[in-house]
Amino acid sequence: MNVPILQMRGITKTFPGVKALQDVTLDVNRGEVHAICGENGAGKSTLMKVLSGVYAHNTFDGEIRFEDEPCAFSSISDSEKRGIVIIHQELALSPYLSIAENIFLGNEIASRGWVDWRKTNLEAAKLLARVGLDENPVTPIQHISVGKQQLVEIAKALSKKVKLLILDEPTAALNDEDSDHLLDLILHLKGQGVTSIIISHKLNEIRKVADAVTIIRDGRSIETLRLDQGQITQERIIRGMVGRDLDSLYPERTPQIGGEVLRIEGWTVQHPQDHSRTVVHNASLNVRAGEVVGLAGLMGAGRTELAMSVFGRSYGRAVSGKVFKYGKEINTSTVPQAIAHGIAYATEDRKHYGLNLIEDIKRNISMAALSKLAKRGWVDKNRETAVANGYRDSMNIKAPAVSAITGKLSGGNQQKVVLSKWMFSDPDVLILDEPTRGIDVGAKYEIYTIIAGLAAQGKAVIVISSELPELLGICDRIYTLSAGHVTGEVPISEASQETLMHYMTQEKE
Amino acid sequence: MSALRESLGFLASRLRQVGIFLALILIVLLFQILTDGILLQPQNVTNLVVQNSYILILAIGMVMVIIAGHIDLSVGSIAGFIGAVAGVMIVHWGWPWWAAIPACLLVGALVGAWQGYWIAYVGIPAFIVTLAGMLIFRGLTLITLKNQQITPFPDELRALGGGFLPDISGGTSVLEWLTVLLGVVGTAALLFQSVKERRIRRRLGLENEPMAWFATKTAFIALLMLAITFLLASYRGTPIVLVVLAVLVVGYSALMNNSIFGRHTYAIGGNLHAAQLSGIKTKAVTFRLFVNMGVLAALAGLIFTARLNSAQPAGGTGFELDSIAAAFIGGAAVQGGIGTVAGAMIGGLIMGVLNNGMSILGLGTDYQQLIKGLVLLLAVGFDIFNKNRAGGSSSIAKRFTFRTAPPAAEGKVPAPEAVSAADPVAPGVGR
């Protein structure tokens, strides 16, 4: 039954000054779904790049055997010839090309250099049927959702006669429903004999699909847990990943809640392009000093849209409604005004909207409140460095110096830089949009501690999150959104995943 | 030993900045040998400064525009247009030079505001707006000049192009003493400032450059300044344009490094969305950058016109390309966020020394263009090579790795949630 398809032995890969992988062992059996877990920077992606030939065989030590034959890949095309296909976290699709063109990109169905379009579209349609995607193959990729694009990637892999499919955080950008479909598809392909390796942070997903879990920590393979031996449990995986037991996933805190800081009334937002769509309907909510308020909702519920439209009309058009701070109406129609009124918004997409990745830590931290460091328009750079050093220490940002480039930091450390930036702007209200997205378990705990600390200082905190356990773990009160409506307001004492989900799926006309 | 190693390591981390500087020195030495020492003769050094001053002034504004992620193709035409305007004001209308110069700079600011409006507030890409500007202002130059050159200009204006600071020794001394004084005071000020800054940083407990590196660098720059002073003083002294240029370089370097405006410029070029969401008034910053570019282009046009003593229909043609090349050779990034005024100056000087050296050698413009093109390609190619070898550790490494927006990106600030909501949920997986 357990026939090995892939054996990696003693894999060691060094970059100048860093040992990224050290003596890693990975055994994958034919026809199983094998999860790889580990904190960000543990070496998971590096290991997959070694396997798929992104790093040529002579740049690392160790042995790879696939289907009982040694492998020496020099490029991705070498590994693809053997049936090993990797799907990266950031999809490799060309937005303006059609689904069919993307599927056969670099692998065109052609004779003498001329593409056979009829056959291309026909074959594409067959592949789409295999992944359960009901779309016309000539539709441009940009017109289908991210979830469907992910399925197109898998169809592309199938076109290459995949035997071993590697998925790097496939559900990171997907909503729950699309994630479920994808996981079902992986199980479906397993039934057809396709072996999968899936890299994921989401432990519930791993429990759903994985037959085995290999844990990587600090560039070493720690252990392989097997489902048939009853070893795959959340506690066991977390312990392996962080190297210790997490007594609690969330820090203890005793909320000390004061008066109302921010109140939003009758907030309505139209879609920026599609004028017939109302993204947020007549939403009202409030947050008090020292309180952590959660915004729960499925994808498309309008959480980010609500937050960003309040924060300087950064989203949407025809925004209407009132914002009150300490009971007085305020104008937050531009970002500088919102910041001046003590509102901060830390985006869910820190790479595209939160950080200047080519700039260093200190300049990112000072970006939103540079005038605090300046006299008559001139910045005191020494004070800036001192301020940044202060945050590096207090927030535990792991970097050699505050002159380190933020693009090179891990997700957790980048998030700490974003939080430092907004803490330095000294807000009264912080809106944190998916503050732990793409962050490993250990760093998540640190972010929760920071949030608790902010509340303890008397700040009003709004947390937007797709992970209900997270909201239940850190919030004092949770609003639910469904299709742009506020459908519920639940104090933490009455909140459970079931009640929240009930409100989150409630329809309002 | 460890101090040496530390310095070398630091040097490696600054390979780009140091490399471009070394390249300039190598090119100077090469032509010094090839031209049998003519290149560094006092008269030729003076020529070098005066000939390249307007390109260097344009490069200051250009590198700022490029740092913000834009480009300006119209500066050559604007410079030509301002030359024409100056000709009409001074020669036809008889305006005094002290009224015409500020008036011309004001016209430059208006031209910059015109382009800045379309780019910042209407949202047309700078490439298009300034390409249009290139045609518009060349056309206006021809209209203003009625296709004929205007000449001559009064001596006061001509001094801006080819004049020197007065000789306080009355021409009796071998060295021109005012130049010596300026050079020595300037060098001393630089040394004093560097040491003071280092002390402050040490007192605050901030990271400092390694001592050996700091000492070598500072000593080298000081010697270089004194050498240039000596060469200039051996000829006719300090060209007035050099004073203008020095003030601009010092002022704009400080502006870009230490002012809120400069820092916002870097932030916009590095990540426009993050800058917007950090409360930076990105449109206002962009608008001002183009107004500034217009003023500097006007200044360059005035100096060029003053040097030629005539406003010409084709004046300023090709300046935009030289100044853009200067910025990129000096390490600016095509997609914005990276670049320095000092780098652009060194890039401009490399182009200038190449021009001058090859002219002395008697190479035709055909070969000059060929070689300058290759140098631009090599300079940027070196960055890419350097990046690949270092495994992407250099910040310049990001120069040509264009960031791709997520496929969902559309409109002002896309919210990923909105996309999946727009489509019906993926249909069930067949099994």
Mean pLDDT of chain B: 85
pLDDT, one tens digit per residue, over B106-148 is: 999 999 999 999 999 999 999 999 999 999 999 999 999 999 9
A426 interface with B at CB cutoff 8 Å: no
Residues A95 and A215 in one domain: yes
- Domain end marker among A211, A242, A273: A242
How far apart (Å, rounded) are the C-alpha atoms in residues B327 and B344?
Answer: 4
CA distance B413 to chain A (A): 6
Backbone angles phi, psi at A309, to 5 degrees: -75, -30
Could you identify the residue written with the tokens 């390796």? A197
Instruction: Tell me which chain A residue has its CA closest to the CA of residue B278.
Output: A368
Question: Are B280 and A358 inside 8 Å of each other by CB?
Answer: no
Residue with tokens 């500066």: B75
Q: A305 and B275 in contact by Cβ < 8 A?
A: no
B366 is written with which tokens? 């055909």
- pLDDT score, position B301: 96
Do A201 and A317 belong together in one domain? no
How sure is the predictor about B396, in pLDDT bands with cuts at 50, 70 and 90? Answer: very low
Quick check: is A249 in a domain?
Answer: no
Pick the closest to residue A120 from A148, A91, A150, A155 (CA basis): A155
Q: How far apart are CA A12 and CA B259, in angstroms?
A: 47
Q: Kindly report, residue by residue over B85-98, the tens digit of the pLDDT.
A: 999 999 999 999 99
Cis preceding linkage at B102, omega within 30: no
Which of these, A80, A349, A201, lies nearest to B418 by C-alpha position? A349
Q: How far is A364 from chain B (nearest CA, A)?
A: 9
3-state class (DSSP) for residue A460: strand
Contacts of B259 in chain A (CB under 8 A): 374, 377-379
Torsion of CA A46, A49, A55, A57, to 10 degrees: 110
pTM to 2 decimal places: 0.79
Of B260, B416, B425, Cβ closest to residue A349: B416
Angle of helix B282-308 relative to helix B97-116, nearest 10 degrees, comes to: 140
Would residue A251 count as lying in a domain?
no
* Residues facing A360 on adjacent strands: A405
Q: Does B398 touch chain A (CB under 8 A)?
A: yes
Assess contact for A411 and A439: CB atoms under 8 A.
Answer: yes
Looking at the partner chain, which of A184, A314, A339 has a beta carbon nearest the beta carbon of B429?
A184
Residue A462's SS3 state is strand
The encoded tokens of residue B65 equal 């525009």
- Do A124 and A118 form a contact (C-beta atoms < 8 A)? no
Mark whether A334 and A354 lie in a shared domain.
Answer: no
One domain for residues A304 and A335: yes
Copy the structure tokens of residue B236.
């006719």
The more confident residue out of A321 and B392 is A321
- Does residue A79 lie within any of the structural domains? yes
| Same domain flag for A381 and A463 | no
Question: Residues of A with CB below 8 A from B405's CB?
Answer: 352
Q: Which two three-digit tokens encode residue A335? A: 């970002």
pLDDT digits (tens, 9 = 90+) for B196-231: 888 888 887 777 778 888 888 889 889 999 999 999
Give CA–CA dist A118/A106, Å, rounded. Answer: 17
Closest CA to A237 of A441, A33, A439, A496: A441
Q: Could you say which of B261, B403, B415 has the minimum Cβ distance to residue A305?
A: B415
A253 assigned to some structural domain:
no
| Tens-level pLDDT at each residue, chain A (509 residues) | 578 899 999 999 887 656 788 899 999 999 999 999 877 667 888 899 899 888 888 888 999 999 988 988 988 888 988 899 998 877 788 888 899 999 998 888 888 888 888 999 999 999 999 888 888 999 998 888 888 888 999 999 999 889 999 998 888 767 778 888 889 999 999 998 899 999 886 777 888 899 999 988 878 888 888 888 878 887 788 777 766 555 567 888 888 999 999 999 999 998 887 777 888 999 999 999 999 999 998 767 889 999 999 999 888 888 899 999 999 999 999 999 999 999 999 998 888 899 999 899 999 999 999 999 999 989 998 899 999 999 999 998 988 889 888 988 888 899 999 999 999 999 999 999 999 887 777 788 889 999 999 999 999 999 999 888 889 999 999 999 988 899 999 999 998 888 888 888 776 54
Domain final residue, candidates A400, A426, A452? A426
How far does the CA of residue A503 sit from the closest CA of chain B (Å)?
18
Q: pLDDT tens digits, residue range B354-382?
A: 999 999 999 888 888 899 899 889 888 87
Query: Are A185 and A319 within one domain?
Result: no
The single-letter code of the amino acid at A119 is K
How crowded is residue A247: how many other Cβ atoms within 10 Å of its Cβ? 6
Please indicate if any CB of chain B lies within 8 Å of the CB of A279.
yes
Backbone dihedral angles phi then psi of residue B236, each to the nearest 5 degrees: -110, 10
Edge to edge, the sheet with strand A292-297 lists: A343-346, A429-433, A460-464, A292-297, A477-482, A485-491
| Total beta-carbon pairs less than 8 A apart between chain A and chain B | 192
- Min Cα distance A302 → chain B (Å) is 7
Task: Evaluate whether residue A224 is within a structural domain.
Answer: yes
B150 closest CA partner among B308, B318, B316? B308
The DSSP bridge pattern shows strands A317-325 and A110-111 to be unpaired
- A87 within domain boundaries: yes
- Cβ-proximal residues to B256 (8 Å cutoff; 6+ apart), any chain: B64, B67, B262, B265, B266, B340, B341
Same domain for A386 and A444, yes or no, is: no
Q: Which residues of A94-125 are buried (b: 16+ CB within 10 A; e: fewer)?
A: ebeebbbbbbbeeeebeeeeeeeeeebbebbb
pLDDT at position B422 is: 35
Within A306-423, strands assigned E span 317-325, 328-330, 343-346, 374-375, 378-379
Helix (H, G, I), strand (E, B) or coil at A257: coil
Q: Is residue A254 part of a domain?
A: no
Q: Which helix (H) or strand (E) holds A502?
A: helix A497-504
> How far apart are the C-alpha atoms of A449 and B308, rounded to whole Å?
69
Q: Are strands A343-346 and A114-115 parallel, antiparallel or unpaired?
A: unpaired
Tell me whether residues B279 and A368 touch, CB distance under 8 A. yes
Q: In 3-state terms, what secondary structure has residue A4?
A: strand
Closest-CA distance, B117 to chain A, in angstroms, reads 19
Q: Indicate whether A393 belongs to any domain.
A: yes
Are residues A58 and A158 both part of a single domain? Answer: yes
B-chain residues near A173 (CB < 8 A)? 406, 416
| Nearest Cα residue in chain A from B389 | A16
Interface of A with B in 478-507 (CB under 8 A): none
Whether residue A505 is found in the same domain as residue A459: yes
C-alpha distances out from residue B283 to A229, B115, B117, B268, B289, Å? 61, 13, 9, 10, 10
A139: CATH: 3.40.50.300
d(CA B328, CA B306): 28
- Rounded Cα gap, residues A73 and B267, in angstroms: 41
Interface check B231 vs A, CB under 8 A: no
A92 in B contact zone (CB under 8 Å): no
Contact B258 A300 (CB under 8 A): no
Strand (E) or helix (H) holding B245: helix B240-258
Same domain (yes/no): A438, A319 = yes
Domain that holds residue A407: 349-426
Whether B66 and chain A come into contact, CB under 8 Å, resolves to no
Task: Write the single-letter amino acid at A326.
Answer: Y
Q: Does B261 sit within 8 Å of A356, measured CB to CB?
A: no
CB A448 within 8 A of CB A474: yes
Q: Give pLDDT, residue A107.
A: 82
Quick one: tokens of A458?
Answer: 């008397």
Same domain, A182 and A90: yes
Q: How many domains does chain A have?
A: 3
Domain end call among A401, A426, A451: A426
Same domain, A368 and A324: no
At residue B10, the pLDDT reads 63
DSSP conformation class of B153: P
A356 contact residues in B (CB cutoff 8 A)? 266-267, 270-271, 274-275, 337
